């Protein structure tokens, strides 16, 4: 099989997509796309005679039945500039290869994350790790911003003084705050990237990392559009139900009404419709 390229992905290679006040995401390189997934699933050495429509059916089948290995055949490499506190959340996803800018070797830039006033919120009383939705007064927003800027400037001034006194960079950096920007190269396969995005695009994820995840979603759509469509349909916008919840649903379904013809208006056809009807039968059994 020839090297897989996607014109829409090629258009954005090395292009910076801005995130937050000074960050970005950049697709540096990618290997494979939708064709690579279906090729791996078919264990084929060439394109064969399969059509795009058949590829889409197979991709959706793989996603629907959690056959994840073929999606690991696609890889994406990103260059990301992000605040250190976002990086520390991000690095918990241990299924990628990462190489980060080192403050031991490099002089860190005077660049800090400063939130826009609208994202400054109070602590949520329901969610111990999140923000409330209530609006914060403009006066308090400005107070917070002034305090953050003052501390950032003071910390960086100290850092520069230590460097000017020829103190080792690895020591001079230690008081720099989490709001400082760092950079890294981050390479990951498509399956694990989609899992990362499932968690970090969720409304409960921290706002700042969600901005990066949503930008990366647009990049993935260009590299593997059919795989991403299947992921959205079956995983990101799908739901899991417990046994008790399924029983509630089953008790309120009119099975006589749901036919293959009826399902067509919801774009459920062929094998997908057959499998859905089989699920319904299991609910009633």
Q: Which pLDDT belongs to residue 285?
A: 67
pLDDT in tens, 224-268: 999 999 999 999 999 888 989 888 888 888 888 888 899 999 988
Q: Which pLDDT belongs to residue 48?
A: 52
Q: Which pLDDT belongs to residue 1?
A: 56
CATH pick for 1-113+179-238 out of 3.30.450.270, 3.30.1360.170, 1.20.1510.10, 3.60.40.10: 3.30.1360.170
Give the residues of the chain that fall short of pLDDT 50: 45
Instruction: Select from 91, 82, 83, 89 the least CA-distant residue to 130.
Output: 89
Instruction: Select from 61, 88, 93, 98 the least CA-distant residue to 192.
Output: 93
Please give the model's pTM, rounded to 2 decimal places: 0.92
pLDDT in tens, 111-120: 999 999 999 9
Q: Mind telling me the catalytic residues?
A: 200
Question: Which pair of tokens denotes residue 129?
Answer: 């790790």
Instruction: Say how many CA atoms lie within 13 Å of 160 toward its Cβ.
Output: 8
Longest dimension (CA), the chain: 82
Q: Which pLDDT belongs to residue 143?
A: 97
């Amino acid at each position: 099989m020839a090297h897989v390229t996607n014109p829409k992905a090629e258009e954005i290679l090395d292009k910076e997509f801005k995130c937050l006040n000074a960050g970005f995401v950049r697709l540096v390189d990618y290997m494979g796309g939708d064709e690579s997934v279906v090729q791996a699933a078919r264990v084929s050495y060439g394109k064969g005679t399969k059509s795009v429509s058949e590829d889409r059916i197979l991709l959706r089948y793989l996603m629907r039945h959690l056959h994840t290995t073929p999606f690991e055949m696609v890889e994406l490499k990103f260059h990301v500039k992000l605040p250190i506190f976002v990086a520390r959340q991000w690095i918990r996803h241990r299924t990628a290869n990462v190489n980060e800018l080192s403050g031991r070797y490099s002089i860190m830039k005077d660049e800090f994350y400063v939130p826009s006033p609208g994202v400054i919120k109070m602590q949520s009383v329901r969610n111990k790790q999140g923000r409330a939705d209530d609006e914060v007064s403009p006066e308090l927003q400005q107070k917070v911003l002034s305090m953050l800027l003052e501390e950032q400037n003071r910390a960086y001034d100290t850092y520069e003084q230590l460097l000017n006194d020829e103190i080792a960079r690895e020591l001079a950096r230690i008081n720099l705050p989490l709001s400082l920007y760092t950079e890294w190269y981050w390479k990951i396969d498509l399956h694990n990237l989609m899992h990362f995005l499932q968690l970090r695009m969720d409304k409960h994820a921290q706002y700042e990392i969600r901005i990066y995840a949503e930008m990366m979603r647009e990049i993935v759509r260009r590299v593997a559009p059919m795989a991403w469509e299947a992921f959205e349909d079956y995983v990101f916008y799908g739901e899991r139900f417990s046994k008790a919840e399924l029983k509630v649903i089953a008790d309120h379904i009119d099975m006589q009404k749901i036919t293959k013809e009826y399902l067509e208006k919801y774009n459920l056809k062929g094998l997908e419709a057959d499998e859905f009807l089989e699920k319904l039968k299991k609910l009633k059994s």
